[in-house]
Each structure stands twice: as C-alpha cells, then as structure tokens.
Amino acid sequence: MSCVEKNQDNKMDLFVMVVGASGIGDGGDKKYNYKVVAWTNEDDPRQTKIVTTNADPEFREVLHLPQNKAASFLNLELFSVNAADTDAFFCGRANTALPMKTNANVYRKFKLENLDTSGNIVTVGYLEVYLGLKTG
C-alpha cells in the first residue's frame, strides 16, 4: 500500500510548504528568478510563484497537491527562469517519501541534485519544505 491512497471514505490531500532553497544564490549584483515545481503524479504538477533575488530564494508558499492517485514520493525541481517564465534553466531535483501520518506537519531539508559535466550526481544546494497530509 502506498503512503498516499484515496479510499472510498476519505480524500487525501498533500500540502507542501516550500520554505526556501539554500546554497543556490551567489550574493552578487545580478538578481535571478527562481521557481519550484512539485508533484506526486506527473500529470498534475504545481509550481510556486517566481522569486527574484541575488541570494538564496525564500518562497514561503503552500502548494496544494490533491491526491487522486496512489503515490509514495514527492518530487521537487528548482528552476532559474526569465522574468516572463518562458525559458527555464534546471538547477536541481529532490525527492522524498511522503509522510506516513495524516494530519501532522513534517519538516524536511533535502539535497537538490544535478549532473556535472562528467555525468556524476552532485549536490547543488538544499530545499526546505514542510509536508502535511490531510484527510477530509
């Protein structure tokens, strides 16, 4: 049985508060635009607003991911985008198992990973989130 499953009596929803990313910004004069895309089922991704900063981006935004299909993992990707959000540069990806408990918030800080020029997986920063699985 997966961590998130809709049964006949209760609908489950995942709420993901994207707090921010660390180890990403360079603190220089140039500002960059960032967004996070999150999903449990690839056919229903959600994204944060775009944050413009020269430091590490802070989102502090809650994404609601209705769970219409069974799921076990949350996937998150961080992108640097242009101001119109028409062109994106992939910064890194993280995934985590979904919480086993319902109606409780779980804090997670996990590595954002990408490939280097040799094809090796490297850590490019960290993403902080709170996960809440709600029934209702």
CA angle in degrees (0–180, nearest 5) for 128-132-135? 165
The average pLDDT across 66-79 equals 83
Mean pLDDT over the full length of the chain: 84
In Å, what is the CA distance from 136 to each residue of 39, 107, 117? 20, 22, 46
What's this model's pTM, rounded to 2 decimal places? 0.84
Residue 10 — pLDDT band, cuts 50, 70, 90?
A: low
